[in-house]
Amino acid sequence: MSKKPLLVIFPHPDDEAFGVAGTILKHIESGGSVTYVCLTLGEMGRNMGRPVMANRETLPDIRRRELDRAAELLGIQDLRRFGMRDKTIEFTDLDALASRFGDVIQEIAPERIITFYPGYAVHPDHDATGDAVIRAVRALPEEKRPDVHTIAFADGTEEDLGAPDVLTDVSAYRDAKLQIIEAHASQTAGLIEAVKSRHDTEMEEMLVTERFWRYPV
């Protein structure tokens, strides 16, 4: 078994690109392994490419391939799709979902899990995913619970939760991270255009520093 397994759990292909691509690259480079559980195909995305290259029915396959490519660029050996539908996570049985997460946790025994901070992650799928991950971790005996690092970006996050607990410098992976964001072209082409055409401080910051809040499990 590889050392230092990292488990990443997100609902949409491209969630991994913005928040944790640098952290994943760094982790793999240092000899760690990564399992990425991606719940949906992002099939309800609003972006259809620039120019429009997809429709509602072709988007799932396009995004499936984009995620394959992103995983390849990231060096992720273990990508698991959970076959759920975009926008519906919060309406599913979250205990059942937590139990599926629990099986993965038991199997790979991660040292750390990265997901969204429930209630502070803006998109309902993000919040519901984080919620189910926390349920899964809390179902474990206390001494077996991995660290849970979460992404939060709702307004008021820092007022409520304080500054992020973990700031990871990923500036060495800036260009690689940008490529991974670009791999999700159907969703990110407009954003990439913006990044390349003008200096966007917020975007540049996101490319060189990744921020996590440790969830109190």
Partner 1 sequence: MKAINPAHVQAELDQLRGEPVYVHLETTNGAYASHREKGTLSAGAFIRNVQLTFEIGKIAGNGPYRIGLETDIGWLYAEGLTDWEKDEENRLLFAGHDHEGRLAAALELSRSPFPK
By beta-carbon proximity to partner 1, the closer residue of 125 and 210 is 125
Residue 23 in tokens: 């952290």
- Alpha carbon of 85 to those of 17, 38, 40, 74, 91: distances in Å? 20, 11, 5, 24, 10
End-to-end CA distance of the chain: 26
Shortest separation between residue 139's beta carbon and partner 1, angstroms: 28
Backbone angles phi, psi at 200, to 5 degrees: -115, 110
192 SS3 class? helix
Residues in region 147-166 near partner 1 by CB under 8 A:
154-155
Q: Contact between 55 and partner 1 (CB under 8 A)?
A: yes
Q: Contact between 191 and partner 1 (CB under 8 A)?
A: no
By beta-carbon proximity to partner 1, the closer residue of 61 and 72 is 61
Total of chain residues touching partner 1, rule CB under 8 A: 22
Shortest separation between residue 121's beta carbon and partner 1, angstroms: 10
- Alpha carbon of 193 to those of 127, 142, 187, 189, 211: distances in Å? 29, 46, 12, 6, 24
By beta-carbon proximity to partner 1, the closer residue of 143 and 155 is 155
What is the number of other CB atoms lying within 10 angstroms of the CB of residue 217?
A: 15
By beta-carbon proximity to partner 1, the closer residue of 89 and 136 is 89
Residues in region 59-118 near partner 1 by CB under 8 A:
60, 85, 87
Q: Are strands 166-169 and 34-40 parallel, antiparallel or unpaired?
A: unpaired
Shortest separation between residue 165's beta carbon and partner 1, angstroms: 23
Q: Contact between 50 and partner 1 (CB under 8 A)?
A: yes
Q: Contact between 138 and partner 1 (CB under 8 A)?
A: no
Q: Which letter does DSSP use for residue 172 in this model?
A: G
- Going by C-alpha positions, the residue among 158, 68, 94, 86 that lies closest to residue 123 is 86
Stretch of 41-49, 89-97, 158-166, 206-214 lying at the interface with partner 1 (CB under 8 A): 41-49
SS3 per residue for 197-210: HCCCHHHHHHHHEE
By beta-carbon proximity to partner 1, the closer residue of 167 and 194 is 194
Residue 146 in tokens: 């991995």
By beta-carbon proximity to partner 1, the closer residue of 112 and 211 is 211
Q: Which residues bind partner 1 (CB under 8 A)?
A: 44, 46-52, 55-58, 60, 85, 87, 122-125, 154-155, 190
